[in-house]
Structure 1
Amino acid sequence: MSHEEILADRLREAGYPAEEVKRAVGGVVAIAGLVTLQDGTELFAKTLLGPDRDVFPVESTGLSELRTLGGANTPDVLCASPRLLVLEKMQPRRDDEQFWEKLAHMLAALHMSTVSDRFGWHRDGWLGRLRQDNTWETDGHAFFGERRILRWLPEPLVEAAFDREERQALERLCAALPELVPPQPPCLTHGDLWQENIVATSDGAPVLIDPAVSYNWPEVDLSMLWCSPRPAAAERFFAAYQEIAPLQEGWEERMPLLHLRELLSTIAHDDDDWGAAEAVRKIITPFRRSGASPGKPHSLPEADS
């Protein structure tokens, strides 16, 4: 049975008689597609192979909180079960400066309106196929170090990618986080904000999809956009964001460090065909024992914009 047939069967089981399913491209975890029902209604749906998990209920809750707590645009959720997620159909985004400026204003408003005193979330989530530990924590450096970086070291593919010295360098980097990241309060973050998770409404307004939400440093969301491939017009995003929510000095240099979680996740998901492991090695270079100078503050490699 093809993936399109599997998705169509699960839609019918849930009461959505699918006339046509066109498989969507870009995702690496779910079987996703644009669906036309027998009455002509168009929807977006996705399903997972393997045992039932709570991926879609968690995603649905994340979308709801981004909208209700932070005012972000998210798709209406029509069905969310362990086997199926059905959303209203969105449109491809328009990559011009006006779109990215609107996105910056929306994200800045989300971050500024959801400031909290704790890092984490009320339930664990998912990043791709793997669990995201959202246990509450009041110390942001401990939260990011333990639950966003070191959490990946036991994953088999990450263990295979790095030797003992490199893993120790990652541990030293986490211990040095208070020197590297200035204190900042947590806020509700999307958590997986690369360009493929940004679409649009029919009138061109930005919409967020596929979140991995938690209360975290706002710069973590920015790091995904900064360090992932993006169109030239997206440069307007960073200036527009700071017009509403100014960032602390040195934010550009912190972007690769905060992107470490995504790099390690990429390796853990067996998607390291574009150099994620080498990018990690570059970031941890100052924390290798052979290059460390006792008593000298750590510094990070220059950020690539």
Structure 2
Amino acid sequence: MSSVPAPAPAVDPGLPDLHRAVTGWYDVAARDLPWRDPDCSPWGVMVSEFMLQQTPVVRVLPVWRAWLQRWPHPADLAAASTGDAVRAWGRLGYPRRALRLHAAAVEITERHGGRVPAGHDELLALPGVGAYTAAAIAVFAFGDRQVVVDTNIRRVQARVVSGRALPSRSLTAAETRLAERLMPEDDALAVRWNQAVMELGAVVCTARSPRCEQCPVRHACAWVAAGRPEPAEAPRGQSWHGTDRQVRGAVLAVLRAGRDPVPEPHLTGPVDVATGTGLAPEPLRALDALHGLDAPQEQRRRALDGLIQDGLAVRGPAGISLPG
């Protein structure tokens, strides 16, 4: 007996109202961000997507502007050194993103004529571009109809549709299917819907202090209807002080602050940073900050080894520096 395919889920008759409410709110409440400008290039959108991963907009804005002014096209970045990319990344965090963006710029320059490819599969093949980033670039740079599911969208879906305070810790297949079901059929409306739900989660339906009184769909929110129950598992803040990540960042800050190599003992040994280092003022201040953490020598060595392993620093005859 042959099996019969399961019928496609019916479209919720309330979806058009939901689409109108959320996109209408977005039309009047959206933040004025440069990568949303219709004149922003696909490269500008791509840079924003790399920078915005796990990083607030307020920190990204000045770095994005400086980056696009310095490297307005992929070929401009491809011609620069990876060290320049890491240095320009500044204090955005997760600096391996700078290496991946540089590698993507090289690939775009060599294989795509210097233009960010519009196809989802071509985007997905670029270095450092995962499923979310490929979908986001396709949607926001080229108006493609793709399902974009970031943390903000997942949280809105969890509350409005599923009645849960927070989504699961990692993306599930059920969440992706729900995002697909909620998507408008019209391509242009689907782009606005993705932008609008993401914005709603970022500025209203936030994780810790949601502003339900400002929400355009609070009347239809399953979580509000249920009395806003507490999450089954409280969100955990990311620890920072004393972690390897903090020490890695402090070591990298010393390397970013100057152009000359830094002798390895200055970074990992019990150095008196006030005198005798021979460093210029800016690297010296960064070195002072590193030693001010009182991190054990073993932790500083581990941080430095990790940076070298990740390609963010190199050992040379004169010491440690950013990659060339």
TM-score, normalising length from structure 1? 0.25
Instruction: Give 1 or 2: higher strand fraction.
Output: 1
Larger Rg belongs to: 2
